[in-house]
Amino acid sequence: VKNDTEIAGTKAAHRRDAVALARFLAWVDREAPAGNLTEIDAVEALETFRRETGALKDVSFPTISGTGPNGAIVHYRVTRKSNRRIARGDLLLIDSGAQYEDGTTDVTRTIAIGEPTFEMCDRFTRVLRGHIAIARALFPDGTSGAQLDTLARQYLWQAGIDFEHGTGHGVGSYLSVHEGPARISKLGATPLKRGMILSNEPGYYKTDAFGIRIENLELVVAAEVAGAEKPVNAFETLTLAPIDRRLVDLNMLTGDELSWLNEYHERVRHAVRGHVDDATKTWLDAATAPLSL
């Protein structure tokens, strides 16, 4: 459980990291479709953008940068031998984090390079709906991660698919990026308490084809629920990075889910826009523009 100073610090760290992430995502969109980038190029660029904040102490863990079939390997680590060129028609899955003195970040984004297929959009939207279900969850104080885990999987289960890792892990404050004992998983028995930080990262992996994961960090906070007869908690999303709109099948979203996505993107734009160059501003405005059914 984080104290007030740690919570303020991690929020500052996430705002700082958001600027580096926006610059990186804009760069990928600009450069990758030409076929000139590799998985290692993406790793090096993202670390460079983070170092240019002037506050980076280290990466939280070795960046997972997997494109095409490499993205379907859940704990993939790119090597010189496995390094794959990012090509049109691929999905690029990039899972990374930063250690700043005031906080720890951990974020995954899945990026469409060129035109995604119907299957990619279907799977991505199912993962997104599970991610939103966790982000919007209201739960009595004392609820365990295991009780929430199904929320992230329900739309995948409806299609007869699943992911073989936990939905979320605890995260430290300038400490371990995988911090126990709290987690959101089938085995997560620890009650979630206000002030805990956990990841929210459902995914889908099609062997030899592509991988999808959407990860934000969430802070457990008190929720105001009219008429509640016991204390209720919710999640406050800390991570601020656009979710690829090109992969969202709007026909699959409810109005509440769409509202969550649009409001999230508005938060991202508000936090980041004043701190980036003009080219990134233009990209950000498009990447966070409201969607409508």
> In one letter, which amino acid is 160?
G
Cβ-contact 110, 210 below 8 angstroms: no
Helix (H) or strand (E) holding 181: strand 179-184
Quick check: is 11 in a domain? yes
Residue 293: is its pLDDT beyond 90? Answer: no
Quick check: is 19 in a domain? yes
Helix (H) or strand (E) holding 138: strand 138-140
Q: What is the mean pLDDT of residues 60-67?
A: 97
Is pTM beyond 0.75 here?
yes
Quick check: is 289 in a domain? no
Task: Give the C-alpha separation, 180 to 7, whole Å.
Answer: 17
Residue 25: is its pLDDT beyond 90? Answer: yes
Burial category of 129 from C-beta neighbours within 10 Å (exposed 0-12, middle 13-18, buried 19 and up):
buried
Quick check: is 290 in a domain? no
Quick check: is 285 in a domain? no
Task: Give the C-alpha separation, 264 to 229, whole Å.
Answer: 29
User: Coil, strand or helix: which one is 242?
Assistant: coil
| Number of other CB atoms surrounding residue 259 within 10 Å | 14
Cβ-contact 201, 213 below 8 angstroms: yes
**Bridge partners, 100 (sequence order):** 56, 103
Residue 264: is its pLDDT beyond 90? Answer: yes
> In one letter, which amino acid is 236?
E
Question: pLDDT grade, residue 65 (50/70/90)?
Answer: very high
Quick check: is 36 in a domain? yes
Quick check: is 287 in a domain? no
Task: Give the C-alpha separation, 113 to 194, whole Å.
Answer: 39
Helix (H) or strand (E) holding 200: strand 197-200
Question: pLDDT grade, residue 40 (50/70/90)?
Answer: very high
Task: Give the C-alpha separation, 173 to 103, whole Å.
Answer: 5
| Number of other CB atoms surrounding residue 4 within 10 Å | 8
Q: Which pLDDT score is estimated for 66?
A: 98
What percentage of the chain has pLDDT greater than the value 90?
99
Helix (H) or strand (E) holding 235: strand 232-237
Residue 265: is its pLDDT beyond 90? Answer: yes
Mean pLDDT of the chain: 98
Q: Which pLDDT score is estimated for 74?
A: 93
The number of distinct structural domains making up the chain is: 1
Task: Give the C-alpha separation, 174 to 43, whole Å.
Answer: 21
Q: What is the mean pLDDT of residues 143-169?
A: 98
The sign of the torsion formed by the CA atoms of 75, 38, 119, 282 equals: positive
Q: What is the mean pLDDT of residues 278-289?
A: 98
Quick check: is 199 in a domain? yes
Chain-centre distance for alpha carbon 113: 18
Strands (E), 26-106: 56-59, 64-67, 91-96, 98-100, 103-104
Q: Which pLDDT score is estimated for 76?
A: 96
Q: What is the CATH number of the domain that holds 46?
A: 3.90.230.10
> In one letter, which amino acid is 47?
E
The residue segments making up the domain with residue 211 are 4-279
